[in-house]
């Protein structure tokens, strides 16, 4: 593996999932693999899970980690080629990426969608520029359109919990939120689910369709109750409108997930990437129920990051 931006960078997902589950049983089995090497983690947005699970994964592999909170601690980056930098930006991304490549053997970077310029976000402008100028492998810690380490952890969680001898029904349900939220988690979950053997349904109010590039052949069901029927897994996530880019639309029904709504499921397991707005997106009773997998997902972030770092280190030995 030379880079990790999406499921397209995975040669064989089934094998990768089994390898991650194997690592989970003995996380220190390759504790010398990264010895003498450095992982750089660059955050242009906040993080709890991604930052700490990736750092822990690196530690398990013997990698040293440098973390740069680029939005708070570094010089303000310029992204335009040929810019006359006589304004608020201080360092061009081409210089930052090349300098960081001198210090790091692998770089992870997080940069969310700005949700104001659809073309810039959907073309992954920041990630493309960073990769263009960096000279070491790059992994996504969440880009404008995708969150692959989260989706890999979600796939590991489903693989561990899925019913035996039955293709699981997985439902991604839109949930309410007070802020305009990027599409990366929803897009990415759809992209990865489309590569697994499951019945995959996405439910959301009209106007909240995700980019069809990622949803592909998933069933879109606008009636949440119909979508939830017989579900084995329910994944809750908010996103803003893609069509009316970044906007929050009026919705008539209440889309917050409750135990009452889950009665039609097949005793579904509950998933959310966290952080979650409790009692806005989903009720406490659901999140705190025995069927909730939210902490297992967070735990599996470490093994998702570890198998990706391991693959990249092994490719560059
Ligand atoms: N799920 C997730 O990516 O969490 P953080 O934003 O805290 O990293």
Q: Is the peptide bond before 275 cis (omega within 30 degrees of 0)?
A: yes
Closest CA to 154 of 25, 52, 294: 294
Mean pLDDT in each 10-residue stretch from start to end of the chain (317 residues)? 96 98 98 98 97 98 97 93 96 98 98 97 97 98 98 98 95 97 98 97 98 96 98 98 97 94 98 98 98 98 98 91
Atom of ligand 1 nearest to the CA of 147: 3
Nearest to 270 by CA among 300, 299, 290, 298: 290
Ligand 1 within 6 A of 49 CB? yes
Q: Which atom of ligand 1 is nearest to the CA of 45?
A: 6
Distance from the alpha carbon of residue 149 to the mean position of ligand 1, in angstroms: 10
Residue nearest to ligand 1 atom 4, measured at CA: 49
Question: Residues annotated as binding site for N(2)-succinyl-L-ornithine?
Answer: 142, 177, 237, 277
Is the complex ipTM more than 0.90?
A: yes
Neighbours of 266 (CB within 10 A): 16
Mutate to test the pocket of ligand 1, among 43, 49, 181 (most ligand atoms within 8 A of CB): 49
**Encoded tokens for 48:** 């709890």
- pLDDT score, position 253: 86
Closest CA to 235 of 175, 191, 316: 175
Residue 317 CB partners (closer than 8 Å, separation 6+): none
Output the known binding site: 47-50, 75, 110, 142, 147-150, 177, 237, 273-274, 277, 301
pTM of the model: 0.97
pLDDT at 317: 72
Distance CA 64, CA 37 (A): 6
What's the confidence (pLDDT) of residue 79? 95
47 CB less than 6 Å from ligand 1? yes
């Amino acid at each position: 593996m030379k880079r990790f931006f999406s499921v397209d960078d995975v040669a064989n997902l089934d094998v990768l999932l089994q390898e991650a589950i194997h690592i989970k049983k003995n996380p220190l089995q390759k504790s010398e693999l990264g010895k003498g090497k450095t992982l750089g983690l660059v955050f242009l947005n906040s993080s709890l899970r991604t930052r700490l699970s990736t750092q822990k994964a690196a530690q398990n592999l013997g990698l040293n980690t440098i973390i740069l909170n680029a939005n708070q601690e570094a010089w303000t980056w310029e992204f335009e080629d040929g810019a006359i930098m006589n304004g608020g930006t201080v360092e061009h991304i081409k210089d930052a990426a090349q300098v960081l490549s001198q210090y790091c053997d692998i770089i992870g970077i997080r940069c969310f969608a700005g949700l104001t310029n659809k073309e810039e976000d959907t073309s992954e402008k920041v990630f493309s520029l960073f990769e263009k100028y960096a000279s070491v492998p790059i992994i996504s810690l969440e880009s404008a359109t995708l969150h692959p380490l989260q989706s890999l952890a979600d796939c590991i969680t489903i693989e561990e919990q899925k019913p035996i001898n039955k293709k699981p029904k997985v439902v991604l349900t839109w949930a309410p939120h007070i802020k305009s939220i990027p599409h990366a988690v929803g897009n990415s979950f759809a992209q990865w689910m489309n590569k697994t053997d499951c019945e995959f349904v996405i439910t959301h109010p009209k106007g909240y369709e995700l980019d069809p590039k990622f949803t592909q052949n998933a069933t879109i069901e606008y009636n949440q109750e119909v979508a939830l029927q017989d579900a084995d897994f329910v994944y809750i996530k908010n996103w803003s409108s893609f069509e009316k880019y970044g906007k929050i639309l009026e919705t008539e029904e209440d889309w917050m997930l409750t135990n009452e709504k889950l009665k039609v499921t097949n005793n579904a397991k509950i998933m959310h990437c966290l952080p979650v707005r409790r009692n806005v997106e989903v009720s406490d009773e659901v999140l705190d129920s025995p069927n909730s997998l939210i902490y297992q997902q967070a735990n599996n972030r470490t093994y998702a990051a570890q198998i990706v770092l391991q693959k990249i280190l092994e490719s560059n030995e």
